[in-house]
Structure 1
Amino acid sequence: MEAGKLELLKQVAAGIAAQFGSSCEVVIHDLSRNPDHSIVAIINGHVSGRKVGDGASNVVMEQLQTNDPEPKDHLSYLMKTPDGKILKSSTVYIRNSKGKVSAILAINYDISALLMVESALHGLVSTEGPQPTEPEKIVNINDLLEELIQQSVALVGKPVALMNKDDKVRAIQFLNQNGAFLVTKSGDKVAKYFGISKYTLYSYIDTKQEEDKPL
């Protein structure tokens, strides 16, 4: 990301954080960097427990995986931190001079206390409340690989010890499609988890990709 653009984004981030106070976290991700260390600026990092130099969230990983040239800004959605805070979040994609997405400006506002007040007020004025919606978790890239591995096992529906080759191919393809191998040294960890060599791991990926090619 150009230095001038980064400084401009930092200025915008500082203004947003000052406007909404200490419950508002503003994060700048540089997509040209290693996803393990994509955060180049963060204000009120106590909201999610992150700091400069930390890795990408699942939202950033999604952009890196799809490389969509014209992604739509993801505005006003709910996220959940590992310690249970509920955040109202917005993700804005920043483009460089060539029109390519080069950075992400993320705004995460901790609405946990407001939700408690809303719940108390709702209980006073209503006899029947709506079912709460479970927000998506905010996951650091360092935790994302482990979560994706568990999701791949759940997808297959059996423990690794009982998986045959086709089961492992299916699980590894799920990991590949969801950006797991963008994580540094993920191949070593995945191969060890599934009890296969790295050569076998990549052959599973290549074999499935060949099968998917049109006739």
Structure 2
Amino acid sequence: MTPAQIEFYKRLAHGLALQFGPNCEIVVHDLETDDVDHSIVVIENGHVSGRKLGDGPSHIVFESMHEGATDVHDREPYLTKTTDGKLLKSSTIFIRNDEGKPVGILGINFDITLMKAFERSLDAFTGTGGTGYTEPEPITKNIGDLLEDLLHECEQFVGKPAALMTKDERIRAIGYLDRRGAFLISKSSERACEFFGISKYSFYSYLNEAKAAAGDK
């Protein structure tokens, strides 16, 4: 993002935070930064998620930075959850340059924890059953937590713990992590080797096989 863009979104974020109050976090990620571990360039009401200026990206930011990410779309309001248990109503809007390429992300995260608690209490009194509840996506405060979340996700994707995976399943898992942008994280390959119990040579061999398989589709 250009300095002029960042300055504009600073003013926009400040105005939105004043408009919607202290429960509304406004955050801007720079998708063109050379330092992917510190993508947040603008944030207002960071106490909502516990993040601050210079903190790292979320899952969706890493997916957008991935070299294979194409045709990304804004996300309408969805549920997210902070590490300390707050429930947020979130929206993700891509900032694009003149060519239409995503260069940043504007995120809006509104703390609805108390509202949902009241809603569930009211539903318990007036409802007749089902809640229609959707499991919220996690919002992490640091790169290490994000990588651990992605490693846990790849186990769910394959359907078994890493220690029990066959070679083909490890290739699938590593391909999943690659698509999710996990290997943009510093020292992620070392952690992946430890997680899967494989050598660095095997890791890069599996990664190349996963990329080749994805290219054939």
- 1:175-194 aligned at under 5 Å gives the runs 175-194=177-196
| CA shift for structure 1 position 109 | 0.4
1:91 to 2:92 alignment: yes
**Partner SS, residue 54 of structure 2:** coil
| CA shift for structure 1 position 151 | 2.6
| CA shift for structure 1 position 139 | 3.2
Instruction: Point out where structure 2 has 5 or more consecutive residues left out of the alignment.
Output: none
Instruction: Point out where structure 1 has 5 or more consecutive residues left out of the alignment.
Output: none
Summarize the Cα distance change of 1:127–1:97 in structure 2 as closer, same or farther, 3 Å threshold: closer
**Partner SS, residue 10 of structure 2:** helix
Asked if structure 1 preserves the Cα contact closer than 8 Å seen for 2:74 and 2:94, the reply is: yes
- Tell me which residue corresponds to 2:110: 109
| CA shift for structure 1 position 161 | 4.0
| CA shift for structure 1 position 194 | 2.0
Deviations 1:60-89 (A, max 9, x none): 122122532x43211211111111111111
1:13 to 2:18 alignment: no
Summarize the Cα distance change of 1:158–1:121 in structure 2 as closer, same or farther, 3 Å threshold: closer
**Partner SS, residue 75 of structure 1:** strand
Write the letter of the residue equivalent to 2:49: S
Please, what TM-score do these two structures have when normalized by structure 2? Answer: 0.87
1-side partners of 2:120 and 2:96: how far apart?
39
Query: Radius of gyration: which is bigger?
Result: 1
Write the letter of the residue equivalent to 1:204: Y
Write the letter of the residue equivalent to 2:148: E
2-side partners of 1:40 and 1:90: how far apart?
18
**Partner SS, residue 71 of structure 1:** coil
2-side partners of 1:191 and 1:123: how far apart?
47
| CA shift for structure 1 position 184 | 1.3
| CA shift for structure 1 position 211 | 4.8
Please, what TM-score do these two structures have when normalized by structure 1? Answer: 0.88
**Partner SS, residue 77 of structure 2:** strand
Identity across the alignment (%): 47
Summarize the Cα distance change of 1:87–1:6 in structure 2 as closer, same or farther, 3 Å threshold: same
Asked if structure 1 preserves the Cα contact closer than 8 Å seen for 2:37 and 2:185, the reply is: yes
**Partner SS, residue 207 of structure 2:** helix
